[in-house]
Amino acid sequence: MITESNLLERAAALAGLAPDTPEIVLDLDVVRANIDRAAATAHEMGVVVRPHTKTHKLPRIAHMQVEAGAVGVQVAKLGEAEVMADGGIEDILVGYPIVGEHKLARLADLAERVTISVTVDSDEVAAGISRVARERGLTIPVLIELDTGLRRLGVLPGPAAADLAERIAALPGIELAGVFSHEGHVYTQARDDGERERLTQEACRAAVDTAEVIRSRGLAAPIVSVGSAGTFRFAVRCPGVTEVRPGTYVFNDRSQIAQGAATAADLAAFVITTVVSRPTPERIVVDAGSKVLTSDRMLVPDPPASFGRVWGHNDWDVVRLSEEHGVLEVPPDAEARVGDRLAIVPNHVCPTINLASAVTVVEGGQVVGHWPVAARGRVQ
Amino acid sequence: MITESNLLERAAALAGLAPDTPEIVLDLDVVRANIDRAAATAHEMGVVVRPHTKTHKLPRIAHMQVEAGAVGVQVAKLGEAEVMADGGIEDILVGYPIVGEHKLARLADLAERVTISVTVDSDEVAAGISRVARERGLTIPVLIELDTGLRRLGVLPGPAAADLAERIAALPGIELAGVFSHEGHVYTQARDDGERERLTQEACRAAVDTAEVIRSRGLAAPIVSVGSAGTFRFAVRCPGVTEVRPGTYVFNDRSQIAQGAATAADLAAFVITTVVSRPTPERIVVDAGSKVLTSDRMLVPDPPASFGRVWGHNDWDVVRLSEEHGVLEVPPDAEARVGDRLAIVPNHVCPTINLASAVTVVEGGQVVGHWPVAARGRVQ
């Protein structure tokens, strides 16, 4: 049982279990608790979970998610889909516009061996998918990507999106499956839970309403898929949402805690580092730099100039990074000497995992594996 | 011959040579020119070059540097040293405090097969190296790391540094080789070439003066090793400096151009991307996000909120990044459609290379290889 009072002790134990540093250590007991809790919430609210694998990049954790009830997984890139399919995952949503002959051929190859769906936000992208599906005798389910506030990809909700859906539904080789959105803007626009809930509900309602417009035209659009880990708890309560796609909930990080989406007890991934120098009483240098922690700031409005925080020490922050050095500002009486190990909670765990070739996995207080990050760097 | 006028044409040709996107393409002709130019400058000024391999992480490019006259290479981490030694590089400076039994054993293993030197900034670190060197019957050359303004690792120049050098020189298994510094602070503190030159000269003089104090105590300290790509042209002119360690000069990036250390014609590494969406006339989304470009800002004072610039289009900037999406702001009449390829110049090329599992290599306008980034992620 994890309590606030034994967190520091757990962090020290995990730090000691890393074979060397810098190294990411995963606490599989916490991972399992995180997966089970989200699965129970979604089940209770009558929505399905399709976790985004971008956080873990590990087929074994994807299997844990599916065993807990997930309908399948989401990935961003085809290379990640290939890793998950090779790892035995049978239902994969590629939430990205597939562009170019080489990628279309890989999409068709995948669709011949597992259940693959894709997102689309333009006629051009849909035309390519339709063509390759027709050539291969496939029918590929497609979700219309909506821009519900993130201002990244996607068409704006409403009649124009329904027009696109109608044109796409008419293409051979494509089955219109519904709508898709990602409320990533809530992370950086909302400053408290009230605002988070309001923005999430607005975004989800826009997606649900657009699906209704599409259905009113006589088209099937059964799926309304929304999500992010930070908004999960609000999105599951939006009437009409059928699917939620949290990613970071599986490990959590400083940003998720700042968003109110996780507590310190839900942290499952730590960057274990060694103090390599203490040039002044106020400055510690550790062996994890931007090549381990990334240069990502926290996913909050006006993020502080901090690249990670030492677990158990709320005034020990990574205030500067070089590629191989993390520079910490600490109180002058901080007890830390050359050779000591520190567990750092990263700002954003997903790209942190992406930098690691492998992670050390701990269960029941013991190292149970050193897992290659199978989908690391699969950006194509 | 590369001229400003044919750069756009070259960029388009390189973009077309990427097998798929996102992909890093290296122009080996430019790499060779960059290596030769720095080698000629150093030769003329009577200093030796020891390139930092952190930029390329490729033993084949390290060999090009050695063939052009480099005395050896610098790496940051032991894992990189192992890759370079395995690749046939015979003189390697590990510019990092080696801490912990596992790493000390690896250091000794390396010292038994190639020429290895290391940097040290504390008695604790020196004691570990001395112990393992004695146990193995080795003598390991050590450089004292000075803090000449970066405020990262290192002891302040002057008598205290000489005291540390004296204590370290007395340890068995260690040979005091000189002093070491990195003027990384010049990137973010200097706003023009005058300031860059002044700060570099101050830093180099502090290192040279400290070496003189050490020598005045009857100790050998033949090497004064300084460097960064941005300050290379100033450091080679500092009397008493014996070795310079540029890294980024081999590929260059937006930061090096902003520092006045390179021109557009010296860029050798491009991130080739595909336009996957154009949701509005002013917004383009490409398939390279922070997992390709990193979240690094430019290495300049007050860096702009830009994560890369499209080659040949000075008003097409990557203004936002998600992990897999680059969001560009462009003029509404910009000619770019879904499926078009763009070559992006990264802010900071070193961590960009570190994200790639392999790079496409072009020479004489042809693809000549797809090289695994051998030292990628070797952070331990």
The pLDDT score that the predictor gives to residue A329 is: 96
Residues A107-116: what's their mean pLDDT? 98
pLDDT digits (tens, 9 = 90+) for A340-349: 999 999 999 9
Q: What's the whole-number mean pLDDT along residues A108-122? A: 98
Integer-rounded Cα radius of gyration of chain A: 22
Instruction: Read off the pLDDT of residues A2-30 as tens digits, 9 standing for 90 and up.
Output: 555 677 788 889 999 999 999 999 999 99
Nearest residue in A to B375, CA atom:
A357
**Burial (CB count within 10 angstroms: exposed 0-12, middle 13-18, buried 19+), residue A43:** middle
Residue B278 has pLDDT above 80, yes or no: yes
Q: Does B104 touch chain A (CB under 8 A)?
A: no
- Decide if A153 and B125 are in contact by the 8 Å CB cutoff: no
Q: Do A323 and B125 touch (CB under 8 A)?
A: no
Would you say B299 and B247 are in contact if contact means Cβ atoms under 8 Å apart? Answer: no
**Is residue A167 less than 8 Å (CB to CB) from chain B?**
no
What is the pLDDT averaged over residues B66-77?
98
Assess whether pLDDT exceeds 90 at residue B306.
yes
How confident is the model over B115-127, as a mean pLDDT?
Answer: 98
Tell me the chain A residues in contact with residue B277 when contact means C-beta distances shorter than 8 Å.
97, 121-122, 125, 153-154
A146-166 burial, b for 16+ CB within 10 Å, e for fewer? bbbbbebbbbbbeeebbebbe
Residue from B346, B341, B340, B316 nearest B328 by CA: B316
User: In chain B, count of helices (H) and strands (E)?
Assistant: 13, 17
Please give the pLDDT value at position A336: 95
Cα separation, A34 vs A246, in Å, equals 11
* Burial label, A202 (beta-carbon count in 10 A; 0-12, 13-18, 19+): middle
Does the predicted model carry a pTM greater than 0.90?
yes
Distance of alpha carbon B253 from alpha carbon B307, whole angstroms: 12
* CB-nearest partner of B291 from A21, A147, A379: A379
Structure confidence by residue, pLDDT tens digits, A59-107: 999 999 999 999 999 999 999 999 999 999 999 999 999 999 999 999 9
Residue type, A260: G
B2 min Cα distance to partner chain A (Å): 30
SS3 category, B358: strand
Query: Left if phi > 0, otherwise alpha if psi is -120 to 50, otherwise beta: which for B48?
Result: beta
SS (H, E, C) A117-180: EEEECCHHHHHHHHHHHHHHCCCEEEEEEECCCCCCCCECCCHHHHHHHHHHHCCCCEEEEEEE
Q: Which of A274, A350, A380 is opposite residue B323, by nearest beta carbon?
A: A350
State the pLDDT confidence band at B3, using cuts at 50, 70 and 90.
low
- Burial of B12-48, coded b for 16+ CB within 10 Å and e otherwise, reads eebbebbebbbbbbbbbbbbbebbeebbebbeeeebb
Considering only CA atoms, which of A296, A54, A119, A74 is closest in space to residue B324? Answer: A54
How many Å lie between the alpha carbon of A262 and the closest alpha carbon of chain B? 21
Q: What is the pLDDT of residue B312?
A: 85
Q: Which residues 336-375 on chain A approach chain B with CB closer than 8 angstroms?
A: 337-339, 350-351, 354-357
10 Å Cβ neighbour count for A6?
A: 12
Strand partners, B329: B283, B317
pLDDT of residue A314: 87
- Vertex A56, ends A51 and A59: CA angle to 5°? 80
Which chain B residues contact residue A99 at CB under 8 A?
274-276, 287, 338-339
Task: Quote the mean pLDDT of chain A.
Answer: 96
Q: Does A283 touch chain B (CB under 8 A)?
A: yes
Token representation of residue A311: 């677990």
CB contact under 8 A, A20 and B103: yes
* Residue B147 in tokens: 């803090």
Minimum-distance CB partner of B377 among A54, A279, A356: A356
Q: Which residues of B touch A278 (CB under 8 A)?
A: 122
**Does residue A15 contact residue A358 with C-beta atoms inside 8 Å?**
no
Are A153 and B279 a contacting pair at CB < 8 A?
A: yes
Structure tokens at B189: 């503190």
pLDDT value for B12 = 86
| Residues comprising chain B, all counted | 380
Task: Tell me how far CA of residue A288 lies from CA of A91, B99, B205, B377, in angstroms.
Answer: 36, 13, 30, 11
Q: What is the pLDDT of residue A10?
A: 85
Residue B373 clears pLDDT 70, i.e. is over it: yes
Mean pLDDT across the stretch B33-55? 98
* Exposure string over A360-375, b if 16+ CB within 10 A, otherwise e: bbbeeeeeeeebebbb
Q: Is A57 left (phi over 0), alpha (psi -120 to 50) or beta?
A: left
Query: What is the SS3 assignment for B365?
Result: coil
Nearest CB among B102, B154, B324 relative to A279 is that of B154
Using a pLDDT cut of 70, give the percent of chain A over it. Answer: 99
CA atoms within 13 A on the CB side of A208: 17
Return d(Cα A216, Cα A223) in angstroms, integer: 15
Sheet containing strand B48-49, edge to edge, reads B48-49, B243-244, B223-226, B174-180, B140-145, B115-120, B91-94, B73-75
Using an 8 Å Cβ cutoff, are A152 and B326 in contact? no
Paired sense of beta strands A243-244 and A223-226, if any: parallel
Residue in the structure block whose two tokens are 């992990």: B323
**B127 at A interface, C-beta within 8 A:** no
**Across the A/B interface, how many CB contacts are shorter than 8 Å?**
170
Mutate to test the interface with B, among A98, A306, A323 (most CBs of B within 10 A): A323
Taking the C-alpha atoms of residue A225 and residue A39, their distance in angstroms, rounded to an integer, is 16
Task: Tell me, yes or no, if A122 comes closer than 8 A to chain B by beta carbon.
Answer: yes
A322 contacts on B by Cβ (under 8 Å)? 152, 184
Rounded Cα distance, B143 and B182, in Å: 13
Phi, psi of B17, deg, nearest 5? -85, -15
Mean pLDDT score across all residues of chain B: 96
Alpha-carbon gap, residue A294 to A22, rounded angstroms? 13
Q: Report, as an integer, the average pLDDT of B43-54.
A: 98
Compute the distance between CA of residue A338 and CA of residue A318 in angstroms, rounded to an integer: 16
Distances (CA, A) of B308 to B128, B172, B305, B350: 42, 49, 9, 14
Has residue B5 got a pLDDT over 90? no
- Residue A371 near residue A60 (C-beta atoms within 8 A): yes
SS (H, E, C) A298-337: CCCCCCCCCCCEECCCCCCEEEEECCCCEEEECCCCCCCC
Q: For A239-289, how does the pLDDT look when each residue is reduced to its tens digit (9 = 90+)?
A: 999 999 999 999 999 999 999 999 999 999 999 999 999 999 999 999 999
Q: Is the model's pLDDT at B4 over the cut of 60?
A: no
| A9 burial via Cβ count (<10 Å: 0-12, 13-18, 19+) | exposed
- Residue B81 — pLDDT band, cuts 50, 70, 90? very high
Phi and psi, residue A324, nearest 5°: -120, 5
In whole angstroms, how far apart are CA B224 and each of A204, B11, B177, B211, B242?
A: 62, 39, 9, 7, 5
Preceding peptide of A22 cis, ω within 30°: yes
Q: Please tell me whether the peptide bond between A303 and the residue prior to it is cis, using omega within 30 degrees of 0.
A: no
Ramachandran angles phi, psi of B93, nearest 5°: -100, 120
Q: Characterise B24 by phi-psi region: left (phi > 0), alpha (psi -120 to 50), beta (else).
A: beta
**What's the pLDDT at A7?**
75
The C-alpha atoms of residue B71 and residue B49 are separated, in whole angstroms, by 6
Given a contact cutoff of 8 angstroms between Cβ atoms, the answer to whether A73 and A52 are in contact is yes
Q: Answer yes or no: do B152 and A285 touch at CB < 8 A.
A: yes
Q: Determine the pLDDT at residue A2.
A: 54
Best of A101, A123, A153 to disrupt the B interface by mutation (most B CBs within 10 Å)? A153
pLDDT digits (tens, 9 = 90+) for B28-38: 999 999 999 99
